[in-house]
């Protein structure tokens, strides 16, 4: 049976690294503020949990345990992440629980997805639900069910692409199919379900449920989808017609960890981040293409391969640069961890790594990164039995 904790660790890995409280100047940034989005000890954000729609407006989404069940909440910042508005519940009150949310935004249009069901951690009778806002997150339209009622929906992601395209991806964890649906009218309605691929990646070792962690990004004229097809295989497909048709899959790694990848694109350049593994070592890695995903350079390490593991990075392109954050352990035993940040103008040469999280509990791991005037790192601060969601600002 799929436990919430293991599900969470699969995204933000075994949870990593040494905590640094820092004010050091790096790449022109000083890290200030540490905004708690939750303070209940029962809240978690997931990959794709942060979105930016203007130089000042940011959006965050997370799950929180309320009266014994998880629900999905949304919060909005109108001042580049310095303060955040009152939480708005997005998930339906009529379901047993909801979680694993993701969000994206384009101007006043904001898109959110998550999983709902009577018991979503059981892997059965769980569905992907979508909601949209057309006024910058102030109000929300009615929910739309994206996946079949009798399915077993895994972690969803959403992308608001160009020309009114909204793409939602998820894994049916029983059939192991990696699926997607596309809207051509800004999320008002969605087309039929398409299959991106299949996976044998099992997030838990004691049962057969599979998770592909499909992850999306849009570059100039191209939509990218990266996903795990097995415990060590990472692949990518491209669409040049807004998600209607997809290219043959390209294998980017056969030594991946099986954790969620990340994708960021700008113009003809696209980066895919993942965790590479060899023996007991795990480290953060990038693959880079400057030809819209046609040809790929060799893997580049964001963190050193060493006995102190690090895990799959989160990456974005905003304000003329690529930004990456990853979790790194303090030792081989990974008794504690923290979040580290690096920046690049072109995705090839990167600034030195600097710690960004402020650890309150044992582990910190990033779930998303973006820029709204200031660099924003959304991270989970967790122990074995508790967690909360924070945002750190880089000025």
Cα gap 1→60, rounded to integer Å: 29
- CA nearest to 160, candidates 196, 142, 184: 184
Residue in the block written with tokens 């989160």: 314
Question: What pLDDT is recorded for position 96?
Answer: 87
Cα gap 226→215, rounded to integer Å: 5
Question: Quick check: 26 pLDDT over 50?
Answer: no
Question: What pLDDT is recorded for position 123?
Answer: 63
Cα gap 103→49, rounded to integer Å: 6
Question: What pLDDT is recorded for position 122?
Answer: 63
- CA nearest to 57, candidates 143, 131, 138, 166: 138
Cα gap 317→267, rounded to integer Å: 10
Cα gap 236→246, rounded to integer Å: 10
User: Measured in whole angstroms, how far is the alpha carbon of residue 120 from the centre of its chain?
Assistant: 19
Question: What pLDDT is recorded for position 28?
Answer: 53
Cα gap 347→359, rounded to integer Å: 28
Mean pLDDT, residues 11-21: 32
pTM: 0.92
Mean pLDDT, residues 257-277: 97
List CB contacts of 98: < 8 A, sequence separation 6 or more. 63, 70, 71, 72, 91, 92, 114, 115, 116, 120, 129
Cα gap 19→337, rounded to integer Å: 6
Question: What pLDDT is recorded for position 118?
Answer: 84
Cα gap 348→288, rounded to integer Å: 8
Q: What is the pLDDT of residues 193-251, one digit of tens each?
A: 999 999 999 887 667 789 999 999 999 999 999 999 999 999 999 999 999 999 999 99
Mean pLDDT of the chain: 91
- Taking a C-beta distance cutoff of 8 angstroms, is the pair 291, 318 a contact? no
Mean pLDDT, residues 351-372: 96
Residue in the block written with tokens 């969803």: 156
Is the domain spanning 4-394 CATH 2.120.10.10? The answer is yes
- b/e burial code for range 158-178 (CB count within 10 A of at least 16 → b): bbbbeeebbbbbbbbbbebbb
Q: Where does residue 368 fall: left (phi above 0), alpha (psi -120 to 50 degrees), or beta otherwise?
A: beta
Question: Quick check: 330 pLDDT over 70?
Answer: yes
Mean pLDDT, residues 313-335: 96
* Nearest-5° Cα angle at 46, 40 to 50: 95
Cα gap 196→242, rounded to integer Å: 14
List CB contacts of 368: < 8 A, sequence separation 6 or more. 45, 47, 48, 49, 50, 314, 316, 377, 378
- Taking a C-beta distance cutoff of 8 angstroms, is the pair 315, 350 a contact? no
222-228, strands of its sheet edge to edge:
215-219, 222-228, 234-239, 250-253
- CA nearest to 12, candidates 382, 386, 293, 391: 382
Strands 234-239 vs 250-253: parallel, antiparallel or unpaired: antiparallel
Residue 82's pLDDT band, with cuts at 50, 70 and 90, is: very high
Q: What is the pLDDT of residues 53-74, one digit of tens each?
A: 999 999 999 999 999 999 999 9
Cα gap 191→183, rounded to integer Å: 6
Mean pLDDT, residues 26-42: 85
**Percentage of the chain surpassing pLDDT 90?**
84
């Amino acid at each position: 049976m799929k436990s919430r904790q293991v599900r969470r660790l699969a995204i933000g890995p075994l949870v990593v690294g040494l905590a640094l409280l820092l004010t050091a100047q790096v790449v022109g940034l000083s890290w200030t503020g540490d905004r708690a989005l939750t303070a209940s000890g029962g809240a978690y954000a997931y990959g794709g949990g942060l979105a930016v729609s203007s130089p000042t407006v940011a959006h965050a989404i997370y799950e929180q345990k309320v009266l014994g069940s998880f629900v999905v909440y949304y919060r909005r910042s109108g001042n580049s992440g310095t303060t955040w508005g009152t939480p708005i519940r997005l998930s339906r009150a009529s379901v047993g629980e909801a979680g694993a949310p993701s969000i994206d935004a384009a101007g006043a249009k904001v898109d959110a997805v998550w999983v709902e069901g009577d018991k979503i951690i059981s892997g059965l009778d769980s569905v992907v639900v979508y909601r949209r806002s057309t006024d910058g997150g102030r109000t929300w339209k009615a929910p739309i069910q994206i996946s079949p009622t009798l399915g077993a929906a895994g972690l969803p992601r959403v992308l608001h692409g160009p020309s009114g395209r909204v793409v939602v991806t998820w894994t049916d964890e029983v059939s192991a199919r990696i699926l997607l649906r596309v809207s051509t009218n800004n999320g008002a309605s969605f087309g039929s379900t398409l299959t991106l691929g299949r996976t044998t990646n099992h997030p838990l070792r004691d049962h057969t449920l599979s998770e592909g962690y499909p992850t999306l990004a849009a570059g100039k004229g191209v939509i990218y989808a990266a996903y795990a097809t097995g415990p060590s295989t990472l692949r990518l497909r491209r669409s040049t017609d807004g998600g209607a048709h997809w290219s043959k899959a390209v294998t980017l790694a056969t030594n991946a960890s099986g954790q969620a990848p990340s994708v960021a694109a700008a113009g003809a350049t696209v980066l895919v981040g993942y965790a590479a593994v060899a023996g007991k070592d795990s480290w953060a890695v990038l693959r880079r293409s400057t030809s819209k995903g046609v040809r790929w350079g060799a893997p580049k390490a964001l963190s050193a391969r060493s006995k102190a593991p690090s895990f799959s990075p989160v990456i974005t392109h905003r304000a003329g640069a690529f930004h990456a954050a990853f979790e790194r352990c303090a030792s081989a035993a990974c008794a504690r961890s923290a979040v580290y940040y690096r920046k690049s103008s072109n995705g090839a040469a990167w600034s030195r790594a600097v710690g960004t999280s402020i650890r309150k509990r044992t582990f910190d791991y990033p779930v998303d990164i973006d820029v709204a005037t200031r660099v924003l790192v959304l991270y989970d601060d967790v122990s074995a039995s508790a967690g909360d969601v924070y945002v750190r600002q880089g000025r």
